Amino acid sequence: MNSKDWAIIRRHLQSAIGKTVKQFQEHPADFLSERDIQAVLFTEMRNEMRDSDLRMKYETSCKKDRCFGKPLDISRVMTEYRLAAEGPCDIAILCCEQDPEAPLWGQPCRIGIEIKFWQALEYHNWNEPRGPQKDVEKLQRYWKRRNEDRHPFTGIAMLFRHPGAIRCPAVDEIAGKDQGPVYPENGVAIHVVATEGHWCDMAPLLELIVAAPNAD
């Protein structure tokens, strides 16, 4: 485990999520779409990681990259960044070291955050086609892919609920647990956020057995 990346998870990720949750709980009507939440969390995460030692040194590796000049010093915090074949992720924090065989748009991710939002008086199911379960499964597939290469990955699937959002049993089961926020070094966690609370739980592991990542 890269000690700097664990510090990012332990301190900066928790701080950014905590500030976003606080804003949502205090002023839920400020958030009328998923993009509102994404914008606030992205801004908080960028602010948390603005120091030069938390950025990424990148050597341009393809013609498209070279449009920016070289070498690059880039933020590791991105929106709608692709998790390899799994598709775009709402917010991604890139790995600290560059994959020299991949372009800037295809670097490996250390942390992935997916956001779902249920508005007031809306009803959804946990496992509907665009529901939170699909986000959990996407993050877990990428987690499995990274672990097969002996690299850790932290995934956070977040569901924000407006006051009056119609509840479903699967979400109530998570929200009914008296447990502190979960930010795994390696794995995927589920967060449910409402004006009355912030609950978390680890997502169940995928059935396929994967190699444990390096400890260093």
Q: Mind listing the pLDDT tens digit for each residue in 20-59?
A: 999 999 999 999 999 999 999 999 999 999 998 899 888 8
Average pLDDT over residues 118-129: 86
Amino acid at 130: R
- Predicted model pTM: 0.90
Q: What was the pLDDT predicted at 178? A: 64
Q: Could you tell me if 80 and 90 are in contact, meaning their C-beta atoms sit under 8 angstroms apart?
A: yes
* Cα 114–Cα 205–Cα 170 angle in degrees, nearest 5: 60
Q: Render pLDDT for 7-30 as a digit per residue (tens, 0 to 9).
A: 899 899 999 999 999 999 999 999
Which residues, listed in sequence order, are joined to residue 189 by a DSSP beta bridge?
A: 156, 202
Distances in Å between the Cα of 146 and the Cα atoms of 34, 59, 94, 100, 139 are 27, 22, 13, 16, 11
Q: Please tell me the distance from the alpha carbon of residue 209 to that of residue 202, in angstroms, as a whole number.
A: 17
Quick one: average pLDDT of 130-141?
A: 92
Do the bridges between strand 154-161 and strand 187-194 make them parallel or antiparallel, or are there none, so unpaired?
A: parallel
Q: Token digits for 209?
A: 């057995």
